[in-house]
Amino acid sequence: MSELPPPRMVEAFEHAAGSIAVNVPGGATGWKGVLLNIHVAPAASYEMEELQEARCVAGRGIEGDRYFHGTGTYSPKPDTREVTLIEQEALDALNRNDPPLQGGKIQLSPGDHRRNLTVRGVPLNHLVGRRFRVGEVILRGGRLNFPCKYLEELLGMPVYLPLYNRSGLNCGIERGGLIRPGDAIEMMD
């Protein structure tokens, strides 16, 4: 196997989306959320594994994750993918087939959606161009996450359309540190 290139990350506020959003005011404030689950995958296509504690490294990612190591499916393409988040509320909506875009409800558990952090009470779609903290770690929202056909294939479930516009957030890490399920999530600015 050839050596993999080191991961090439785009700093969140330099991303095509984040760089615009950072200069546009607005979005929800005053909310307080919680980190429910942490998942990483050791390499592309591997099942996600749950962690009770994870180290976030600024400019790089979550230790042990495929995008930290540069072994992810999309690693060759420079982007903001140090940490990805998804709302538990989006998974709840899929599980009640809401809106009814597909045959029936889809049960997508935190270990299956392939985003790193499952969070509750965090309006992720408002956080592009914003700074927020997860426990002691500070994240920067770089762009909205986008569902991919690859995920559908891996799961064998029709999740592409149902996840559209609620697929989560891709972030950069401004300040690294340890995170654990139960950590509070809050706006910084």
Partner 1 sequence: MTARIIMKLRVESIRASTPEVAHIGLVHPLRPELPEWTPGAHVDFRLPDGKIRQYSLCGDPSDRSRYEVAIKREDQGRGGSKWVHENLALGTIAHVSAPRNNFPLAPGATRHVFVAGGIGITPFVAMARALAAEDRDFTLHLCARSAEDAPLIGLLREICGEQLHCWFSSEGRRFDPRVLGGPSEGTHIYSCGPERLVGSLQAALDLAGWPSEQIHIERFAATLDENFKPEPFEALIESTGQTLHVPADRSLLDVLREHGFTLSSSCEIGVCGSCECGYRDGVVLHRDSSLPLSKRQDRMMPCVSRARVHLTLAL
CA–CA dist 62, 85 (Å, integer): 12
Q: Quick one: which segment of 84-92, 95-103, 146-154, 171-179 binds partner 1 (CB under 8 A)? A: 146-154
Q: Which of 153, 158, 161, 184 binds partner 1 (CB under 8 A)?
A: 153
End-to-end CA distance of the chain: 45
59 contributes a contact to partner 1 by CB under 8 A? no
User: Which listed residue (36, 57, 73, 121) binds partner 1 by CB under 8 A?
Assistant: 73
Beta carbon of residue 93, minimum distance to partner 1 (angstroms, whole number)? 24
What are the Cα distances from residue 155, in Å, to 19, 34, 36, 46, 178? 33, 26, 21, 11, 29
Q: Is residue 157 a contact point for partner 1 (CB under 8 A)?
A: no
CB–CB of 148/96 below 8 Å? Answer: no
74 touches partner 1 by CB under 8 A: yes
Retrieve residue 163's tokens.
């996840």
In the region spanning residues 16 to 45, those forming contacts with partner 1, defined by CB under 8 A, are 43-45
Question: Using CA atoms, how far apart are residues 150 and 155, in angstroms rounded to an integer?
Answer: 9
Q: How many residues contact partner 1, by CB under 8 A?
A: 16
**Nearest-approach distance from CB 49 to partner 1, in angstroms:** 8
The token pair that represents 176 in the structure block: 């690294």
**71 touches partner 1 by CB under 8 A:** no
- Residues 55/176, Cβ–Cβ less than 8 Å: yes
Binding residues (CB under 8 A) for partner 1: these are 1-2, 43-47, 73-74, 76-77, 150, 153-156
